[in-house]
Amino acid sequence: MSNEAPGTIEFTDGITAIDTDHIRPLFDASHLIVEGGRAAFVDTGANSSVPRLLAALSRKNIDPADVDYVFLTHVHLDHAGGAGLLMQALPNAKAVLHPRGAPHMIDPAKLIRGAQAVYGEQKFAEEYGDIVPISAERIIVIDDEYEISLSGRILQCIYTEGHARHHYVLYDSQSKSVFTGDSFGLSYREFDTAKGEFIYPTTTPVHFDPPEAHKAIDRIIGLQPEQLMLTHYSRVTELTRLADDMHKRIDDFVDIARRHAKDELRTEKMHQSMYTYFHDELAAHGFAGSTEQVHDIVEIDVMLNTMGLEYWLDHQ
Ligand SMILES: [Zn+2]
């Protein structure tokens, strides 16, 4: 056994996945990139994740002062909720944000209200606590294809809508990786089988946009990466098949929404259809776990995806 924390995965090219332990183990990853003694985080998890991120630095003998960037793919709180608190421990770091995301980290009031509407006030307080703002002078606001040097290693920010209108992904040509945030779906390692990786889109409220979600997949694949680093959960490599699966499942989720659009008890009907969908697709994928295991793992996504699809139905 190594001395690594549970859920930590070491990759080549100075890349590490750190389990933020947000919601449950192996749900939410922060990625650390180390180059020439300098470091950057991609997504941070929540406030409760910050000690794990700092412990990962310390295991690598990296001083918090040597962290140059905190890349926030978007400001949903499972990605950026802990960023303000983390920045307090990183004296030289700048947070890197999409122009539509930056205002929400400078003044998180709207972000907090939005998340309270999604999770409920009590659950929000338990899971996210006090969101620490980031001062404007510590934020780099990007353009599309903006390039940033981490000790000479060029990292490129690429706009991707579909999941959120303030989302970007980070392309690292050195490792041929794209850090995809939520723009290339979710792929939990528990669902890996002999048939490989299992992936599906996240249609979280309030900006799910099917045509843009399809475009995001094509734009990411167009970078010709060899691996994608998903926030939920870390590396996937079967990119051609996974891109096909993503395109198909974006359409499948839209079909579920349309099929129930006029139903009474629309939310419950959509939940049922989503659970059935996951059950069937995972069975076809060779997942041997029980119905309860499937339910436990996908429950949060069934809830959030349904919310986002209903918002989309109501605002087309
Ligand atoms: Zn998100």
Q: In this model, does residue 3 exceed pLDDT 50?
A: no
Q: Is 30 helix (H, G, I), strand (E, B) or coil?
A: strand
Query: What is the Å distance from ligand 1's center to 164 Cα?
Result: 7
- Residue 2 CA to ligand 1 center (angstroms) comes to 32
Between the CA of 183 and the centroid of ligand 1 the distance, in Å, is 8
* pLDDT tens figures, 79-134: 999 999 999 999 999 999 999 999 999 999 999 998 998 889 999 999 999 999 99
pLDDT of residue 1: 37
Mean pLDDT in the chain? 96
Give distance in angstroms: CA of 209 to centre of ligand 1. 13
State pTM to two decimals.
0.97
Q: Looking at residue 152, what DSSP letter applies?
A: T
pLDDT digit string, tens, across residues 58-84: 999 999 999 999 999 999 999 999 999
140 Cα–ligand 1 center, Å: 20
Interval 14-34 mean pLDDT: 97
Alpha carbon separation from 122 to 100, 116, 132, 216, 298 (Å, rounded): 27, 8, 18, 34, 22
Q: How far is the CA of 69 from the centre of ligand 1 (A)?
A: 20
The pLDDT value given to residue 143: 98
130 CA → ligand 1 middle, Å: 19
User: Which stretch of DSSP H or E encloses residue 284?
Assistant: helix 266-284
Q: What is the pLDDT of residues 213-253, one digit of tens each?
A: 999 999 999 999 999 999 999 999 999 999 999 999 999 99
74 CA → ligand 1 middle, Å: 7
Q: How many Å lie between the centroid of ligand 1 and the Cα of residue 1?
A: 33
**Residue 204 CA to ligand 1 centre (angstroms):** 7
Maximum separation of any 2 CA atoms in the chain, in Å: 59
Which residues have CB under 8 Å from 223's CB, separation 6+? 158, 171, 178
pLDDT tens by residue, 141-191? 999 999 999 999 999 999 999 999 999 999 999 999 999 999 999 999 999
pLDDT score recorded for residue 247: 98
Tokens 């793992």, residue located:
297
What is the distance in A from the centroid of ligand 1 to the CA of 80? Answer: 10
Residue 2 has pLDDT above 80, yes or no: no
How many Å lie between the centroid of ligand 1 and the Cα of residue 71?
14
Q: What is the whole-number distance in angstroms between the Cα of residue 121 and the centre of ligand 1? A: 19
Distance 163 CA to ligand 1 centre (A): 7
- Confidence band (pLDDT; 50, 70, 90) for 55? very high
274: closest CA among 299, 245, 310? 299
SS3 content of the chain, % helix, strand, coil (to 5): 40, 20, 40
What tokens appear for 39 in the block? 């470091």
pLDDT (mean) for 304-310? 97
Tell me, in angstroms, the distance from the centre of ligand 1 to residue 307's CA: 13
Question: Which of 309, 273, 286 lies closest to 201 in space, CA to CA?
Answer: 309
* Predicted pLDDT of residue 67: 98
Q: Tell me the CA–centroid distance for residue 231 and ligand 1, in Å.
A: 9
| Residue 59 CA to ligand 1 centre (angstroms) | 29
Q: How far is the CA of 189 from the centre of ligand 1 (A)?
A: 18
pLDDT of residue 4: 56
Instruction: Identify the pLDDT of residue 151.
Output: 98
- Phi, psi for 250 (deg, rounded to 5): -60, -50
Distance 19 CA to ligand 1 centre (A): 17
